[in-house]
Amino acid sequence: MAEKIAFITGGNRGIGLQTAQDLGSLPNIKVIIGSRNLKQGQDAVKKLSAAGANADVIAFDVVNPDHHKVAFDYFSSRYGHLDILVNNAGVAAGTFPGNGPEHSAGEVPMELLRGVFETNFFAQVALTQALLPLIRKSPAGRIVNLSSILASLAYHADPKSPIYHAKSFAYDASKSALNAFTIHLAYELRNTKIKVNSAHPGWVKTDMGGAQAPMDIADGSKTSVALATLGDDGPTGGFFHMGQPLPW
């Protein structure tokens, strides 16, 4: 079988690193991780290689448009195509200095809202658009957008849902927008072999998820890996966690 090439943004730590390990350990898949800090990315590749994964790294910041072109040129010149894109890089509102994790819709600072959307939505769309010509050259392209159960408008509107009181407007809205991109892009590519889906990894023990999260990191990659390796009869344009559909 021909080697499949996968690109995972933010793949040097957390869920991205676990996804890289799980994908790169599968037969005939080579994983390239994108890391803002190249040294940290190189250290991650050493860990991945020691764990048996076929991996490499490029310096990559998802919010830098120049890096989108660098990524395109890298995959185009070395491989001529891209089989799997996992849009894993993302931020929570608390990433921004002076801001806690929760922000109400009536009080969220516009600078923070724009910052979260820039990383979690606009950059994801721009990168996918930049790499789509290479994904079209794959015999079975797969695009996985890392979303969250907090993106579900149906759950947020339902007083009986598990997330009804868990509202952080900037983050939640940015992931809802990303879900919309999944639906629209899947529709656009419906007559191709490319599949586009959103993944809720779960509440995982990472730097973002915190130590109180109920899921271990080893389980946090399972949904992304499953969607990245879907067969020809797999779904497209869906929102999933551990094989189960989630409401939009």
The pLDDT tens digits of the residues spanning 19-73 come to: 999 999 999 999 999 999 999 999 999 999 999 999 999 999 999 999 999 999 9
User: Catalytic residue among 69, 164, 187, 193, which?
Assistant: 164
- What was the pLDDT predicted at 219? 81
Query: Residue 1 pLDDT > 90, yes or no?
Result: no
Active site residue 167: no
**Contact (CB, 8 A) for 19 and 85:** no
Strand-pair category, 29-35 with 4-9:
parallel
The residue with tokens 């779960």 is 202
pLDDT confidence bin for 109, thresholds 50/70/90:
confident
* pLDDT mean across residues, the chain: 91
Query: Residue 158 pLDDT > 60, yes or no?
Result: yes
Looking from the CA of 24 toward its CB, the CA atoms found within 13 Å total 27
- What phi-psi label fits residue 28: left (phi over 0), alpha (psi between -120 and 50 degrees) or beta? left
Q: How many other C-beta atoms can be found within 10 angstroms of the C-beta atom of residue 134?
A: 21
Query: Residue 144 pLDDT > 50, yes or no?
Result: yes
The pLDDT tens digits of the residues spanning 85-97 come to: 999 999 986 655 4
Percent of the chain with pLDDT over 70: 89
Q: Which residue, among 117, 128, 145, has the nearest Cα to 201 in the 3D structure?
A: 145
For residues 24 and 37, give the distance between their C-alpha atoms in angstroms, rounded to a whole number.
Answer: 20
Q: Which residue, among 37, 50, 41, has the nearest Cα to 17 in the 3D structure?
A: 41
Burial 138-170 (b: 16+ CB within 10 A, else e): bebbbbbbbbbbbbbeebbeeeeeeeeeeebbb
Tokens of 41: 């990315």
Lowest mean pLDDT among 42-46, 205-209, 218-222: 205-209
- What was the pLDDT predicted at 217? 64
Query: Residue 99 pLDDT > 70, yes or no?
Result: no
Question: pTM for the full model?
Answer: 0.93
- What was the pLDDT predicted at 209? 47
**Contact (CB, 8 A) for 56 and 118:** no
Q: What are phi and psi of 115, to 5 degrees?
A: -65, -45
- What was the pLDDT predicted at 205? 45
CA 196 to chain centroid: 11
Query: Residue 163 pLDDT > 90, yes or no?
Result: no
- What was the pLDDT predicted at 95? 52
Supply the DSSP symbol for 192. Answer: S
Mean pLDDT for 150-174 is 93
User: How long a stretch of residues is the chain?
Assistant: 248
Full set of structural domains in the chain with CATH: 4-245 (3.40.50.720)
User: Catalytic residue among 175, 195, 205, 222, which?
Assistant: 175
- What was the pLDDT predicted at 2? 74
Active site residue 79: no
Measured CA to CA in angstroms, residue 47 lies from 52, 81, 149 at distances of 9, 26, 30
**Contact (CB, 8 A) for 89 and 9:** yes
- What was the pLDDT predicted at 191? 97
